[in-house]
A and B are shown apart, each in its own frame.
Chain A
Amino acid sequence: MGSGTSTQHHFAFQNAEKAFKAAVLIQRWYRRYMARLEMRRHCTWSIFQSIEYAGQQDQVKLHNFFSYLVDHFTPNNHNERDFLNRMFTEERSPQDSEMENCRDYESIEVPDSYTGPRLSFPLLPDHATALVEAFRVKQRLHARYVLNLLYEARKHLVQLPNINRVSTCYSEEITVCGDLHGQLDDLIFIFYKNGLPSPERAYVFNGDFVDRGKDSVEILMVLFAFMLVYPKEFHLNRGNHEDHMVNLRYGFTKEVMHKYKTHGKKILKLLQDVFCWLPLATLVDEKVLILHGGVSDMTDLEFLAKLDRHKIVSTMRCKTRKEDKKQAEEKGKANQTSSAGTPSPWFLPQSHSLPTSPLCPSTQKAHRAGRSSSVPCRVPLDPKELSHWVRHSVDLELEKCRQQAGFPEIKEKEEPLPLASEADPEAEGRREPTQEEWRQVVDILWSDPMAQEGCKANTIRGGGCYFGPNVTERLLQKYNLQFLIRSHECKPEGYEFCHSRKVLTIFSASNYYEVGSNRGAYVKLGPALSPHIVQFQANKATHTLTMRQRISRVGESALRALREKLFAHSSDLLVEFKKRDKDKTGLITLSDWAAAVESVLHLGLPWRMLRPQLVSSLTDNKLEYKSWLKNLAKEQFSHENIQSSLLEALYRNRSNLETIFRIIDSDHSGFISLDEFRQTWKLFSSHMNIDVTDDCICDLARSIDFNKDGHIDINEFLEAFRLVEQSCSKGYASDCQATNTNNSDCSSPDIH
C-alpha cells in the first residue's frame, strides 16, 4: 500500500501550507510596519510645510503692520519720523545716477594675498567654469569681483524683456531647474550630471536662487557668470525670494553681511536693483511658459510684457500710486456703509498666526467687481479709503497700541502726513508701480496650483492665489501654449505634474527641509518640447540610509520643530486646556487636547496621528496637561522653572524679532543704538501683544554684552537667545532665571 508515500505527501503538503501561512503572516506584519512609516512620512512633510508657510504669513503680517503705520502714523517729532522713515528707506530703489556710484568697485583694492578667483571682463567660458570649481573647493570671491560681476549682470539684464523668448532651434536641448535656495551642492551636481551650460546646452533657472541655504552668494555668482558668457542660452527668472525684504528674514542678507563685512552693504544695495531687473518669465518656442509661482485668472501676459518690471522693488510691500483724492474719498464713503459688521482688522496684534484673509470680504466684493480673487498680501484699498474704514471701528484699539509703543496721541486728521520723500506726486508716479502692475507680478511669483476649479486667494502664503485646472486651461488656450513649468513648492520627488500634466512643478533643492526630506529634480525639454525629468539627492549619506532611517531622521527633526512651536505657545495652550477642563481635574481627553492644540497653532496638522510622538504618558486615557507643558519647557531648556512668558514670546517671535532688527539696522552695520533698541522693542511688543515693562527691556539690553558707547550688536543679541537654550541645557540652570513680568523687580536671564 502506498500509505507511506501518501503520508509523506500529506506531511509535505501540511508543511508547505504552514510555510505559506507563515509567509503571509510575516508579509502582513511587514506591510503594516511600512504603512505606518509612510503615514509618518506624510505627517512629517505636513509639519515642515505648515511651519514654513506660517513663517511666510508672519512675514507678510509684519510688513503689513509696518506699512499701515507708515501710511497712517503721524510722527510728532523729528526722531519718530526718522525712526519710521529709516525702516523704509530701503524701499527706494536707487536712481540711475546712483548706480554710477557702483562703479566705484574699481577703487576696491584686491590684496596680493588673495588666492581666490579673479575675474576680468568680458568673461570667457573658462572663467565661468573656473568659478564653479573655485566655489566647489570653498574659495570665496573678492568683493571687488562680486560688485563688478553684479554691475555687468545688471547691464545685461536691463536689456532683456519681461518675458524672455527662447528658441530651441539653436541649442539642442534646454534644461529647466527650479528653486536652489543657496544650496550650491545641488547646482554643482546638476552641472556635473547634466553638463555645463554651452551654446548647445541651454538652461533656464526658475527663481529662488537665494535664502535659507548657506551659499546663496556663490550660486548667484555662478548663474550670473554663465548668463554673461552665454547670453542667448542661459536664462534666469525672478522668484519671490529675489527680493530684499524677503532676504531680511530668510538669511540671504545675513549671509552677505557675514561673508563681506566691509562691502556687504554695497553689494546688497546693488543686488536690490539687480533683482528688480530679472525677467519675470521665459517662453520657450512660444509654447512652454516658465515662471516661478503660477498664474491667476487675471493674468495678462501682454500687460506683463509691457510693464516696467524695475518698479516692482519688493512684492512684500507695495507703495502704489495714490488715486485721485476725490475718487478715493467717494469710494471710501461707499464702503463705509456697505461694510456693516466689519470683521476684525487684520493688522492688529493677534495671538495666533491664523491665515485670516488680509482682506475684508465685504469691501472686496463691493469694490472689486471685476476681479474674482487674486489677492495681494497687502490690502488693495487705497490707504485713504482704508483710513476711513479703520477710523470708523478701530481707532481706539490703535490708540492703545500706540500708547503702549510710547508714541504720543494722534490727533484726528483727514489724511496722513506725507513722509518727506512723498512730497512730489509726479516723481512718485514715475517710480511706483500701479496696483494692477504690482498684483500681476505678485500672482506670477507667489501663486500655487490647486486641484479644485477656480481661483482663490492664497491665504496660506499671504500673497498670490491658488489657481485651478480651469484657470490653467484658459490661459494655455488664450495664449496658445502647451504647458506651464513653475517652481516655488518643495515636492518629495523634486517634481510633480498636475492639471492633467499641463502644469509641472520643478524643485531643485534636495534635502530642503532636512537631510533626506526630498529629492531635487530638473527637467529637460526634448523634441516637441516633451519633458524628461531627472531626479537627484545631493547627499551621499542619504543613499546608505534605509527608508526607515531616513524617515525617522527627518521625522525627528520635524517633531523637534513642532515641539518648539508648541512650547512657544504654552500660555495660550494652557488657557485652552483649562477651558476644556471645567471640573478642574487637571486632565483632559485626547480629543480635547487635539482640538485645543489646533485652535492655538492653526497648523492644520493631523494631531491625532502625531499624538504618540508628542504625548507620551497618559493617566486613564487622559492627559495631565500641566505637566505635559512643563515637560515641553524642560525639553527646550532643561530647567524646571521656566515659566517665562517673555522667553516664550521671544521664542515664538524669533524670526519676526530678527527681521525687525534688520529693518531698523538700515545700514546693515549690525549695530543699533540703545534708543533704537528700546523703540524697536516697544513696537515689537505692542505688535506681538507682549506686556513688558521698560525696566525689563533695559535689563535685557544691559545683560547683553552691551558696549558703553550706546550700541547693541544685534547679532549678539539674537545669538544670545539661541545661546540661552544651549547654556541652560548644559546645566547653567541657576543663570536662567525666570523673567517674571508681573513683578516690577524683574530678573532677566544672565545671557553671555
Chain B
Amino acid sequence: MADDRDREGTEIAVAEFHKKIKDAFEVFDHESNNTVDVREIGTIIRSLGCCPSEGELHDLIAEVEEEEPTGYIRFEKFLPVMTEVLLERRYRPIPEDTLHRAFEVLDPAKRGFLSKEELIKHMTGEGEPFSQEEMEEMLSAAIDPESNSIHYKDYITMMVIDEN
C-alpha cells in the first residue's frame, strides 16, 4: 500500500517535472523543432533549480548529446536525463552561509571584504575560471566603487534578494 502511494507520488512528481522541463526547454527552442543549441543547455539546467559546476555540466551534456555531436540537443534525450536529475535532487543550490564561508576562505584575514584585484585573481585564476565577460559583469555589480572592493556579506544578501 505504502509502495503504491509512493509510486503515485513519484508519478505525480515526474509529471510535474516533465512539464517544468518542457517549459524551460521551449524558451530556447527557437525553431520549434524540439531542439536547442547545446550552448543554452547550461542556462536551462540552471534555471530549473540546479547548480552544477562546469565540470558536472559537461558530464551532463555528454549524456544528452548525440553520438556524433550536432551542436543541438534533442528534447527526447534531454527529458529523461533531466527528470532523473530533478528526482535525485542533484546539484542542489548553495546555501547562503556556505557561500559566505567560501568567501571567507579567500579572505583569511577576515576583513569582511576582498579587493578588486584579489577577486579577479581568484575568479580568473582558480577553480573553473571566469571568462573576461563573466568577470566584468560580476565586477560591475559587486565592486563598491569607493573602496574598490567587494563586501561579500552584503553582496550575497543583495544577490539573494534579487533572485526572489
Q: Please state if B27 and A606 are interface contacts (CB–CB under 8 Å).
A: yes
Assuming the contacts A19-B126, A25-B98, asked whether A38 and B31 have C-beta atoms less than 8 A apart, the reply is no
Give A544's nearest chain B residue, CB to CB: B140
User: Contact: A27 with B127, CB < 8 Å?
Assistant: yes
Measured CB to CB, the nearest residue on chain A to B99 is A29
Return the contact of A609 from the options B23, B33, B159 (Cβ within 8 A). B23
Where chain A touches its partner, the secondary structure class is helix
Interface string of B18-55 (1 = CB under 8 A from A): 01100110111011110000000011111100111110
Per-residue 0/1 for A23-35: is the Cβ within 8 Å of any B Cβ (1 yes, 0 no)? 1111111111111
Whether B162 is near chain A, meaning CB under 8 Å from some CB there, is yes
A607–B20 Cα distance when bound, in Å, is 9
Bound-state Cα–Cα, A623 to B37, Å:
34
**Other-chain residue from A19, A594, A608 in contact with B106 (beta carbon distance below 8 A):** A19
Contact B33 A22 (CB under 8 A): no
Return the CB mask of A535-569 against B: 1 if under 8 Å, else 0.
Answer: 00000000000111000100000000000000000
Given contacts A24-B127, A32-B46, A547-B137, contact A43 B31 (CB under 8 A): no
Nearest-neighbour CB distance to chain B for A578, whole angstroms, equals 21
> Using Cβ atoms and an 8 Å threshold, which residues of chain A touch B15?
591
Residue B90 interfacial (CB < 8 Å):
no
Does B138 lie at the interface of the complex (its beta carbon under 8 Å from any beta carbon of A)? yes
The answer to whether B93 has its CB under 8 Å from any CB of chain A is yes
**A164–B28 CA distance with the chains assembled, in angstroms:** 38
B51 cross-chain contacts in A, Cβ below 8 A: 28-29, 32
A15 to B46, CA, bound (A): 29
Residues of A within 8 A of B162 (CB): 548, 552
Asked whether any CB of chain B lies closer than 8 Å to the CB of A20, the reply is yes
Say yes or no: is B85 at the interface (Cβ < 8 Å to chain A).
Answer: no
Q: Inside 8 A of A29's CB, which chain B residues have their CB?
A: 51, 93-94, 99
Find A25's partner among B32, B47, B99 (CB 8 Å cutoff): B99
| Interface flag for B102 (CB, 8 Å) | yes
A126 vs B164: C-alpha distance in the bound complex, in angstroms? 55
Selected contact of A608 from candidates B23, B44, B130, CB within 8 Å: B23
With contact pairs A32-B51, A36-B47, A451-B33 given, residues A22 and B19 touching in the complex (Cβ less than 8 Å): no
B 99-155 contacts with A by CB, 8 A = 99, 101-103, 105-106, 108, 122-123, 126-130, 134, 137-138, 140-141
Q: Is B163 an interface residue (CB 8 A)?
A: yes
- Closest beta carbon of chain B to A16's beta carbon, Å: 8
* Residues of A close to B140: CB separation below 8 A: 546-547
- Complex Cα spacing A28 to B98, Å: 12
What does DSSP make chain B's interface, helix, strand, loop or mixed?
helix
- Contact partners of B138 in chain A: CB under 8 A: 30
Closest residue of A by beta carbon distance from B158: A548
B84 near A: Cβ within 8 Å? no
Contact yes or no, B46 A36, CB < 8 A: yes
Q: Which of A15, A22, A43 has the most CB of B within 10 A?
A: A22
Cross-interface CB contact of B43 among A35, A452, A612, cutoff 8 Å: A35
Give complex CA distance A32, B163 in Å.
Answer: 10
Residues of A contacting B43 in the complex (Cβ-Cβ under 8 angstroms) = 35, 38-39
B137 touches A451 (CB 8 A): no
Q: Are B27 and A609 in contact (CB under 8 A)?
A: yes
Partner of B103, one of A22, A33, A46, A451: A22
Q: Is B27 within 8 A of A42, CB to CB? A: yes
Known: A22-B106, A606-B23, A606-B26. A39 touches B47 (CB 8 A): yes
Closest chain-A Cβ to B97's Cβ sits at a distance in Å of 12
Contacts of B32 in A (CB 8 A): 451-452
Is there an interface contact between B102 and A25, defined as CB atoms closer than 8 Å? yes
A18 within 8 A of B: yes
* Distance between Cα atoms of A31 and B137 in the complex (Å): 11
Digitize A443-480: 1 where CB-to-B-CB distance is under 8 Å, 0 elsewhere: 00000001110000000000000000000000000000
Q: Tell me which residues across on chain B come within 8 A of A32, comparing CB atoms.
A: 46, 50-51, 93
A25 to chain B, nearest CB (A): 4
How many angstroms between the C-alpha atoms of A372 and B139 in the bound complex?
A: 54
Chain B residues with Cβ under 8 A from A25's Cβ?
Answer: 94, 98-99, 102, 127
Identify which of residues 42-100 in chain B touch chain A, using a CB-to-CB cut-off of 8 Å: 42-47, 50-54, 93-94, 98-99
A24 with B27: in contact, given A18-B105, A29-B99, A591-B19 (CB under 8 Å)?
Answer: no
Which residues of chain A are within 8 angstroms of B52 by Cβ–Cβ distance?
A: 28
Alpha-carbon separation in the docked complex, A31 to B122 (Å): 15
CA distance A22 to B102 in the complex (A): 5
Contact in complex: A28, B94 (CB < 8 Å): yes
What's the tally of chain B residues with a CB closer than 8 Å to chain A? 50
Q: Look across to chain A and name the residue whose beta carbon is closest to the beta carbon of B119.
A: A26
Contacts of B94 in A (CB 8 A): 25, 28-29
Residues of B within 8 A of A34 (CB): 134, 137
B11 within 8 A of A: no
CB-CB under 8 A for A27 and B128, given A22-B106, A546-B140, A606-B24 = yes
Q: Does B16 contact A (CB under 8 A)?
A: yes
B20 touching A608, Cβ below 8 Å: yes
Residue on B nearest A23 in the bound complex, by CB? B127
Q: A23-B123, A27-B123, A32-B46 are in contact. Are A39 and B99 (CB under 8 A)?
A: no
User: Do A35 and B27 touch across chains, with their CB atoms under 8 A apart?
Assistant: no
**Interface bits A591-606 vs B (CB < 8 Å: 1, else 0):** 1001000000000001
Min Cβ gap B125→A in Å is: 8
Alpha-carbon distance A29/B50, docked complex (angstroms): 10
- In contact, A39 and B163 (Cβ under 8 angstroms): no
B99 close to A26 (CB less than 8 A): yes
Chain A residues with Cβ under 8 A from B105's Cβ? 18-19, 21-22
Closest-CB distance, B112 to chain A (whole angstroms): 16
Per the bound structure, the CA–CA distance linking A546 and B106 in Å amounts to: 25
B47 to A, closest residue via Cβ: A39
Pick from B28, B54, B101, B102: contact of A31, CB under 8 Å: B54
Q: How far is the CA of A32 from the CA of B45 in the complex (A)?
A: 9
Q: How far is the CA of A34 from the CA of B42 in the complex (A)?
A: 10
- Specify which chain B residues have a CB less than 8 angstroms from the CB of A27 in the assembled complex: 53-54, 123, 127-130
- Picked from A18, A548, A612, the residue with its CB within 8 Å of the CB of B141 is A548
A180 CB to nearest B CB, Å: 26
B143 to chain A, nearest CB (A): 11
Q: B50 — nearest CB in chain A belongs to which residue?
A: A32
Q: Is the CB of B31 within 8 A of A23?
A: no
Of the residues B19, B93, B130, contact of A594 by C-beta under 8 Å: B19
Output the residue of B16, B51, B102, B162 with the most chain A CB within 10 A.
B102
B28 cross-chain contacts in A, Cβ below 8 A: 42
A546 & B137 in contact (Cβ 8 Å cutoff): yes
Q: CB distance B123 to A39 under 8 Å?
A: no
Report the Cα distance A42→B40, complex, angstroms.
11
Contact of B102 among A26, A451, A546, A548 (CB under 8 A): A26
A26 to chain B minimum Cβ distance, whole angstroms, is: 5
Q: Which of A21, A28, A30, A43 has its CB near the most chain B CB atoms (within 10 A)?
A: A28
Which residue of chain B lies nearest to A28 when distances are taken between CB atoms in the complex?
Answer: B53
Give the shortest distance, in Å, between B56 (CB) and chain A (any CB). Answer: 9
**Could you tell me if A24 and B103 are in contact, using CB atoms closer than 8 angstroms?**
no
Q: Cβ of A547: which chain B residues have Cβ within 8 Å of it? A: 137, 140
Query: Is the beta-carbon distance between A39 and B103 smaller than 8 angstroms?
Result: no
Give chain B residues whose Cβ lies under 8 Å from the Cβ of A21: 102, 105, 127
Could you list 10 further interchain pairs (A-B, Cβ under 8 angstroms) beyond the known A26-B123, A29-B51, A46-B27? Answer: A15-B108, A23-B106, A23-B127, A32-B51, A35-B42, A552-B162, A591-B19, A594-B23, A606-B27, A608-B19
Query: Would you list 11 pairs from A and B whose C-beta atoms are within 8 A, ordered by A residue?
Result: A23-B122, A26-B123, A32-B50, A35-B46, A35-B47, A36-B47, A38-B43, A39-B44, A552-B162, A591-B16, A606-B23
Q: Taking beta carbons and an 8 Å cutoff, which residues of A are in contact with B? A: 15, 18-36, 38-39, 42-43, 46, 450-452, 546-548, 552, 591, 594, 606-609, 612
- What are the 6 tightest A-B residue pairs by CB atom distance, in nearest-first order? A23-B127, A35-B46, A451-B31, A39-B47, A22-B105, A22-B102
